[in-house]
């Protein structure tokens, strides 16, 4: 009986229920708050600096927040995902859009590795001999 009780205690301790927040913690009624924002200064004061700014096309500031849920041996899940997209022109906020869980696509990460075009693949021996002469001896300051 003690062995069975010990087994269940170990089993229960392995089933951790934990939630960690990742990214921004957005205020309640986010849509209403960002609707009144007209400048980037107000945006930074209210929400903070963006996580990402686009470098091609329209300048868009991107904010992301989600809850990362650990449920013991089960797969990691994300809930309460929100993305705030802000179109910016100079110091003016042109447009804002808030996306929630249902609006976001379900992205699946592929297993394995992605091949890099024109990559040189060497085995361990080739790697070893390829590095000969690349490094200066210690203490020479080169």
Q: pLDDT per residue over 72-124, tens digit each?
A: 667 777 787 888 888 999 899 999 888 888 887 777 777 887 777 877 788 88
Specify the pLDDT at position 100.
85
Q: pLDDT per residue over 60-76, tens digit each?
A: 999 998 888 877 667 77
Question: Hunting for tokens 């269940």 — which residue is that?
Answer: 8
Q: Is the pLDDT of residue 13 over 80?
A: no
- Using a cut of 0.85, tell me whether the model's pTM lies above it: no
Specify the pLDDT at position 139.
58
Q: How crowded is residue 110: how many other Cβ atoms within 10 Å of its Cβ?
A: 6
Q: pLDDT per residue over 31-46, tens digit each?
A: 888 888 899 999 898 8
DSSP secondary structure code for residue 46 in this structure: H
How are beta strands 17-23 and 52-53 bridged, if at all? unpaired
What are 82's strand-pairing partners?
65, 100
Specify the pLDDT at position 57.
85
């Amino acid at each position: 009986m003690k062995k069975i009780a010990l087994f269940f205690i170990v089993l229960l301790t392995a089933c951790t229920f934990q939630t960690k927040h990742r990214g921004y913690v957005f205020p309640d009624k986010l849509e209403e708050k960002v609707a009144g924002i007209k400048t980037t200064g107000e945006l930074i004061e209210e929400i903070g600096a963006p996580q990402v700014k686009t470098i091609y096309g329209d300048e868009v500031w991107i904010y992301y927040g989600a809850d990362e849920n650990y449920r013991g041996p089960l797969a990691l899940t994300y809930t309460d995902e929100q993305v705030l997209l802000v179109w910016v022109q100079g110091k003016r906020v042109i447009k804002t859009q808030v996306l929630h869980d249902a609006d976001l696509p379900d992205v699946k990460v592929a297993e394995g590795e992605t091949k890099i075009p024109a990559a040189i693949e060497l085995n361990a021996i080739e790697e070893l001999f390829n590095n000969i002469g690349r490094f200066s001896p210690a203490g020479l300051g080169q």
